[in-house]
Structure 1
């Protein structure tokens, strides 16, 4: 299945062109257990006493600074990778958080074999939290009671499930019958994927994690599959973001469907002039030329300036809610 293959390639090239470390932020890439499947690849950013090395692996290459640090787990969009939001992870680490992001096996740039098996993702996020609290070399620096989650697009869906949401994926097929011109439905049709296959959900599919105390959700995919009943148990503080000109996830079926059905009103941000991919970091000049569909923002929209504001708001939210 090659669903979202163009998006995946673009994100990979963007990440290769952009450093994932900073002078005051440590970084390491590790592998963690994933049940009977191959290990998951994870990137971890943390406050450090020395610059990180580009190829850090295994034990932290520089010492973790601080104690009682809050942990933020991060979930990327479809066809992405753990460093799809590296600028946000760096901003969090600079503010004194530990940010850990997982490659969602089956829905990454190099493996789209389980794209519509969305229930796989929350389990992987759960395993990431388990690892960070019990096995990570820097775990003694963490406060186990201060855990947040960040997710974009498919990652936003993942975080809502981890926060207690229960979607009804059987809603995808009728949605596409009613809106065959929408991006999701066009992509499924182009890939030869029957939307009805997403309804074959295991009975114990949706894994929530009560350790998550607050969440940032940007442009959540499949928002229309939750409804009020599906979100009734999402009781933690939510910061919800919508790109006003999101043509991939058109209003009101995604972000608005989540906002309207959460039992407690979220902190809601609508970004004027932004498109779906403006939640990804700015692209290099080379990538802007080769992948304009992912990199180009609407005329007059400054993605770099937006990310400065976006990252600051994410940091502020977690600082306020994870005390």
Structure 2
């Protein structure tokens, strides 16, 4: 087992608070687009990619990043990574990881999930809709995006955190047993998923009636994945991940009180038919997987930005992002 750190699953409240973050970056291009979803509203997508254009400081909502907006793409046959955020987040939640990947030669597309984001949580219980969003983003990146000809369609990976980790596992063939949630919550009332359900009992019956993960939920184009603090990981045991044979890098925060051990990441580790590359992050909490906050945001929402005494989120992200880049380089044969 490898030891590093993990970051916490994100719940950004309906007050519309977003991440105020700052990063030092190199020559990375950035675009903000929408991708069509024939079964729902258009999907908001942030795209980071290699570019030789001169970057400038760009403020996107409350996130500041040094990028070259709408710049030309540099390179050919580039690998693609798609990112799925946690409950109540947005495409910006892991922007520092996206930048690190783009600096390393990857194209990165991060989606804002319809109905489960910082501005709209009306469908946060409809978690099985999320894999469709990922497939529609991949469709767009391979055919509709202005730089689609620069992408190698045989080299696609995925990064998912919290609810996005669950999304990732379903997208690669995981079959969760959602009937396990109700009895689990009878004895785990303080767990995040159980509190989310308790706050949304008015839509619970509708969500429960939604179709289970269908055969079409798996997207065979995804070849390797990074999963951080996966939500409702216990729904995959004992055999729900039997068909997942691709490389998996799995992260767990040692002191995650949002998705506490051993019902989430550990349950996923035990259910995988092949041992993942497993990282347990000492002294880390759930929200430490989000990009580091600046001082203004830390003062405004300390519950998201605060870390345990002695835990350096910036240093952790530097090491985590390096591990993520190296994993995708190796498993997607992406060079670098």
TM-score w.r.t. the length of structure 1 is 0.91
Tell me: CA distance 1:279–1:124, structure 2 relative to 1, closer, same or farther (3 Å): same
Q: 2:290 aligns to what?
A: 280
Q: 1:229 aligns to what?
A: 239
Q: CA offset at residue 116 of structure 1?
A: 1.1
Q: Which moved more, 1:239-248 or 1:37-46?
A: 37-46
Q: 1:306 aligns to what?
A: 316
Q: 2:14 touches 2:120 (CA, 8 Å); kept in 1? A: no
Q: CA offset at residue 196 of structure 1?
A: 6.3
Per-residue Cα deviation, 1:195-218 (whole angstroms, up to 9, x for no partner): 665442315646011111100000
Query: Does residue 83 of the first structure (1) align with residue 86 of the second (2)?
Result: no
Q: CA offset at residue 245 of structure 1?
A: 0.2
2:37 to 21, 34, 39: 34
Tell me: CA distance 1:203–1:275, structure 2 relative to 1, closer, same or farther (3 Å): closer
TM-score w.r.t. the length of structure 2 is 0.88
Per-residue Cα deviation, 1:66-106 (whole angstroms, up to 9, x for no partner): 11110000100000001110000000000000000111101
Residues 1-323 of structure 1 aligned to structure 2 (within 5 Å): 7-9=11-13, 13-15=17-19, 17-19=20-22, 22-52=25-55, 54=58, 61-192=70-201, 198-202=207-211, 205=214, 207-323=217-333
Point out where structure 2 has 5 or more consecutive residues left out of the alignment: 1-9, 61-68
Q: 1:75 touches 1:151 (CA, 8 Å); kept in 2? A: yes
SS at match of 1:167: coil
For CA contacts below 8 A with separation 6 or more, give which structure has more relative contact order. Answer: 2
Q: CA offset at residue 139 of structure 1?
A: 1.1
Q: 2:63 aligns to what?
A: none
| Runs of 4+ with >6 A deviation | none
Q: CA offset at residue 170 of structure 1?
A: 1.2
CA distance in 1, matches of 2:109, 2:139: 12
Tell me: CA distance 1:10–1:204, structure 2 relative to 1, closer, same or farther (3 Å): closer
Tell me: CA distance 1:76–1:21, structure 2 relative to 1, closer, same or farther (3 Å): farther
Point out where structure 1 has 5 or more consecutive residues left out of the alignment: 1-5
Tell me: CA distance 1:137–1:91, structure 2 relative to 1, closer, same or farther (3 Å): same
CA distance in 2, matches of 1:63, 1:119: 35
SS at match of 1:63: coil
Tell me: CA distance 1:295–1:208, structure 2 relative to 1, closer, same or farther (3 Å): same
